[in-house]
Structure 1
Amino acid sequence: MVFKRLLGSLGVGGPSVDTVLDPGPALPGGSLGGHVLLSGGNAGFDIEQIALELVARVEAEHQDGESEGVLVFDRFTLGGGFRLAEDEQRSLPFSVTLPWETPATELHGQPLGIVLGLRTELQVTGARDTGDLDQLTVRPLAAQEAILEALGQLGFGFRTADLEFGRIGGTGQQLPFYQEIELTPPARYAHTLNEVEVTFLAHPGGMEVVLEADKRGGLLSAGHDAVTRFTVSHHGVEHHDWNTEVDGWIRRLVEDRSSRTAHGAPGHDEPYGGYAHEEGDHGRHHQGDDHHRSGPGVGTAVAAGAAGLAVGVVGGMVAAEVVDEVGDFFEGDEESEEG
């Protein structure tokens, strides 16, 4: 998806910019390549800088409730310091590295409802414009995909995915937001769990997996959140028994055996199926206000009666409002810039 726009601050006759991404989804921590195509206007212009920005649509909580906005989470300077002649055509190739915590927007080709974009900023003498906005598609890392597949095979179903502004205490989180994938429990846990949220925090050496369960109350106890964290490696994913591993994680959540440390404190490492297990926080794992249980929003995708996350992760069906919101994000961004 490419949006070609004239440099609005210069009006008709100014240079235009097109950014064309290489085909196929990108990977967190991987390279994102493409070309920035410049077309000269009806006169020469001095191009001071060309920059690329990674943007995401993020939900934020505050005292008055919840709002959504566009957040820039990385920026790359591509070039500049040259003159673009009248009617000149110039192509600038680029290859940038995505942050390891870049959220996945799809799983097995099915959109999750997460909205990411690559915005191109063109700055000329005395004027600046964000020029071009392209939708960015990111697939999960092998370990992320394996964990989600295991959850699907254990009977968990996809409910929603969204991006939350804020930080998870006690983790090595780098970006100012995190992705939550909300799951419905299988029948054997339905009497204990309302839902389970999964967050992946990848880094070059591996990945933290944060699991939070919204636990139902009983006759003598109130409902509460249970949180646990695990560390996994990027290596040997295909040789690991993920169903057994993940089933153990869920049992720890259900039994609350991994929710005994103080809020924000690092957990204790112990060997667990060849991977490190970290005990989590009890009740809340978000710094700031009380934890918000996310409802349907910009990241909403609906499973059409499917229990699995992997084979028909979103049940082969995505809510129409997700598709509409993705389009509205890019169209709305352009309209706001032109205004």
Structure 2
Amino acid sequence: MFGKLKASLGIGAAKVDTILDSMSVYQGETLKGTVHIKGGDVEQQIDAINLKLCTEVKVESEESTSYQDFIIGKLQAVQPFVIQPNETKQVPFEFKLHDETPVTELNVLKNLCHVWIETTLDIDFAIDPKDRDFVAVKPIPVVAQVLSAIEQAGFGMVKADVEKGYLRGGNFSSTSGCYQEIEFRSNGFINRKEIELSFILDGAAVHCFAEVDRSFSMRGDQYASFTLNRESNDTEIASVVQRILSI
């Protein structure tokens, strides 16, 4: 009885450790790995192994700006089971990244984009053991080409973060409840220009939303949205980038 009481407080309880096959994936790919569970000092009922795909989002109000953990996707790995003292179990899993999972691998001065898998053992009347594993998310080639073309046009990538909310373009809208913004800034002072890009993957389509701010301009912020294909060629990508630069 005393052992079960200690386990309910997290002392001598089961432990969880998630091992990913790869810590680096492209947008929309499937994460593969194994959840390793080590029994504690007493027998425990595990109601579920819960995997959550998480990021950190910026939440703005009139008074302040804060950052919160945000769940993009969930996966329940197994049905309930009992783990005996010191017993080990290994549970393989596959977890497809939500298409709107932020890119974390960026050539940016201030990168506030983080993605991780949080694994939790669901145990009644106990502190749930947890494990957090960060994932490096790379842009798919067409997104990487757009970003590179903006940089080659003389813009530096200065900041990337994730906003809470929904993004709506001319013929698309986001669905996850958060969206990434990648901010570029030109080197000029008198004619300084800022570009914020957001990408929304949708099957074979890659939607992009651009917000452009020209310093000292009377027009205010300008917006444009467009859609590329995952297999778009160099000419199509160059055309889209030129549209952004011409705003």
| Fold shared, TM-score > 0.5 on shorter chain | yes
| Deviation of 1:169 (Å) | 3.1
Partner of 1:305: none
AA aligned to 1:96 is F
Q: Distance in 1 between matches of 2:139 and 2:79?
A: 33
Q: Secondary structure at the match of 1:217?
A: coil
Partner of 1:82: 81
Q: Does the alignment pair 1:22 with 2:18?
A: no
Q: Distance in 1 between matches of 2:167 and 2:108?
A: 28
| Deviation of 1:13 (Å) | 1.4
Q: Does the alignment pair 1:231 with 2:230?
A: no
Q: Secondary structure at the match of 1:54?
A: strand
AA aligned to 1:227 is Y
AA aligned to 1:161 is A
Q: Distance in 2 between matches of 1:41 and 1:110?
A: 44
Contact 1:53–1:76 at 8 Å: present in 2 too?
yes
Q: 111-120 or 98-107: which moved more?
A: 111-120
Contact 1:185–1:195 at 8 Å: present in 2 too?
yes
Partner of 2:243: 248
- What TM-score do the two structures reach when normalised by structure 1? 0.66
Contact 1:217–1:223 at 8 Å: present in 2 too?
no
**1:164-243 alignment runs, 5 A limit:** 164-170=163-169, 171-187=172-188, 191-218=190-217, 222=218, 224-237=220-233, 239-240=234-235, 242-243=237-238
AA aligned to 1:20 is I
| Deviation of 1:241 (Å) | 5.5
Q: Secondary structure at the match of 1:224?
A: coil
AA aligned to 1:155 is G
Partner of 2:139: 140
Q: Secondary structure at the match of 2:137?
A: coil
Q: Distance in 1 between matches of 2:108 and 2:192?
A: 29
Q: Secondary structure at the match of 2:148?
A: helix
Q: Distance in 1 between matches of 2:116 and 2:197?
A: 23
AA aligned to 1:43 is V
| Deviation of 1:233 (Å) | 0.4
Q: Distance in 1 between matches of 2:30 and 2:36?
A: 19
CA deviation profile, 1:225-255 (whole Å, cap 9, x unmatched): 0000010001244x5453454123311x1xx
Q: Secondary structure at the match of 1:150?
A: helix
Q: Distance in 2 between matches of 1:30 and 1:121?
A: 22
Over the residues paired in the alignment, what is the CA RMSD in angstroms?
2.3
| Deviation of 1:148 (Å) | 0.6
> Percent of aligned pairs with the same residue?
28
Name segments (4+ residues, structure 1) moved above 6 Å.
Answer: 108-111
| Deviation of 1:11 (Å) | 2.4
Q: 102-111 or 134-143: which moved more?
A: 102-111
CA deviation profile, 1:30-60 (whole Å, cap 9, x unmatched): 1011111000111211111101011111111
Partner of 1:267: none
**1:1-339 alignment runs, 5 A limit:** 9-107=8-106, 112-129=111-128, 131-170=130-169, 171-187=172-188, 191-218=190-217, 222=218, 224-237=220-233, 239-240=234-235, 242-251=237-246, 253=247
Q: Distance in 1 between matches of 2:179 and 2:142?
A: 17
Q: Secondary structure at the match of 1:86?
A: coil
Contact 1:122–1:128 at 8 Å: present in 2 too?
no
- What TM-score do the two structures reach when normalised by structure 2? 0.89
AA aligned to 1:247 is Q
Q: Distance in 2 between matches of 1:179 and 1:144?
A: 13
Contact 2:120–2:130 at 8 Å: present in 1 too?
yes
AA aligned to 2:137 is V
Q: Secondary structure at the match of 1:145?
A: helix
Q: Secondary structure at the match of 1:143?
A: helix
Q: 1:108 to 1:127 in 2, by over 3 A?
A: same
